[in-house]
Structure 1
Amino acid sequence: MSPSGTRLLPRDVPVQLLDEHGSLTKDADYPTPSMERMQQAYASLINGRRINDQCNALVRQGRLAVYPSSNGQEACQVAAALALSDGDWLFPTYRDSVSVITRGVAPEDAMVLLRGDWHSGYDPHEFGVAPQATPLATQLLHAVGFAQAAAYRNEPTVVLAMCGDGATSEGDFHEAMNFAAVFKLPVVFFVQNNEFAISVPLARQTAAPSLAHKAIGYGMPGQRVDGNDVAALLSVLEEAVDRGRRGEGPTLVEAHTYRMLAHTNADDDTRYREREEVQAWADRDPLTRVRSYLRAEGLLDDKAEEAMAETAEGIAAELRAAMNADPVLNPEELFAHVYAERPATLDAQWALLQDEIERTEARA
């Protein structure tokens, strides 16, 4: 317990409300989400899986430069977005495109960065979603700074900052956790522990009993949750968000999940993990257990599933069309937003590039 009476240590066994077969287990501390909430979550999971599959295909077609898939982690992605209210903010990583889209960003806009453009593709203020961060853990410091600014303004904003297990080895992770705890900022640090930091297994990342145990060193509560159980994720994350909104400070949530595909299209995961290990996690699919639960409760039938699949396919079709259209490029955009007033040195660089472009076009 902390001096305030808050329990800091996480559970020995991750919180679980739906087991691998979709059977419900009641929990004394975490309520089961409403049936409507579970239906909403399942529809978002269907969309997320279809988006992951479509983006992997777009990479193979050369329409995306890179795609870090969250296949198998869709429950974490969906719950992170749904746990927040209007006015809250999400600070995602490069692997969190499904979470960004679930928050309201159009899929084709969320893919702009991964296509290789110079900007994030969407207005962060419109959706309460910061640009996706590629460097490990840098977004955690941004999230903490944003939360401190909101606290100064007496705004009820809660910030949910996402990261992977590899990011917990970064200095930025320590600095963000320490600062947030000292100033009791409304931040939920959400770690998707998918067992690997590219090829480095968790055992080479930490000797702690769990990543959630790191929270006690900062004086904040930590909790472990089954990262393939969207019901448990929603309940645990919503409790952490509510805690932050009440002014009780930050929380560290570790979701135990698994990255079913390679780190990115540039990675060969067969070099560092066995196929039997991957297949074992396929039986824990986050979509299957929710589907089984809703079917058993009479809240999902063939007609409803067909409608959800049709919606997901429509999203994929729009994404394909957007990515198959060649972008209109304006080289001057490289210089347009560096300074509020462009200095003479940058004007000179733009003039140099213009001259090079004109000479290249003349030779063509």
Structure 2
Amino acid sequence: MPPPPRPSRSASLRQPASSSSGPPTPRGHTRHRSQVMPPAASQLSRKTDPPSAPSTPRSRTQFSTYQQQPSPKKLAKPTTATPSASASTELDPSLIPSFSPEVAALQTELLQLSLLHLSSLREDADWKANAEKQLRIKYNTVAEKYRCVVKEEKEYQQRLNGQALHCWLKNSIEHNGHQGFAVQIQVLSEVAQEVCDLSDIQGGRFTLAVQDFESWFRNVEEIKTCRHYQGGSDLDVFIDPLDRAWQEEVHALTMKLELCSRQLQSLDIMGYGEVEQLEGSSLYRTAKGLDDMVNAMIEELNTICKIEADVVRSERQLVSQLSQQVVSTRPLEKRISRVGMWRS
């Protein structure tokens, strides 16, 4: 059986709560200000303090099916005790501590050098790109100018060659008629082909004659050197002249080259009073070059013939001197009159 209810006092007879109790809970009505007792100082200080965190545990956060469930916290492995840097520094007195001002200054300088290196690399790359761009522009400009100059020079050379041919035709008609111009073209072609064949480096007649002379002259030099070291005694080797076939070949070459030179001089390519204007033409330079080459070949043949004649003359004089020495060293035999065989 439950206990009987406690009789409730009237609201007018109730006393304010003690200092140990919490703040009064307001009821359905409030007292008059004159009936309310002022709270104690401890209650005022307790009211100003922030409320403490509730001791009840916070409810677990609800996760939806789209959120990842938190994994249970792994237990960290116990770290092994490692010797600290300070301990090693204290053990080795030669090391500089990292917190010293010298290390800080070196680190600052190293950072500045690193930044300077990076900036220098960027500046170098920019400078190379700019220089290459400028050089490319300058190269294109120079190449374009060169192409223009070559084109103008080619056009000028074509006009000059046309003027030279026209001048050659005009001079040929004035002196020999239309038939003479065709003959002169044929003569120029024959002379150019003849000079090319004679001076061919593989088997030209002029080339072979010069090579024979060079071989003979090297032999002459060897004989003279041997005589010089022997002192002129025991001369058993003499210099022989070149054979008659070589001399005839040189004479024939000289006559043929002189004929080519006269044929070139008979052409009307040189012009009459217009040489200064046509010196740069291909026709004039071809004729002039052929004439100079023919004259040089004739001069070379005459020179080697003169050298060969001088060497032979000197050798004959030497042989004559040696024969006189031999005759002078032998005693003169008494001449005895003998009867001819036809008289016996």
> Which TM class, normalised by the smaller chain length?
under 0.3
Q: Which has the higher helix share?
A: 2
Q: Which has the higher strand share?
A: 1
Q: Give the TM-score, by structure 1 length.
A: 0.19
Q: Give the TM-score, by structure 2 length.
A: 0.20
> RCO higher in 1 or 2 (8 Å CA, sep ≥ 6)?
1
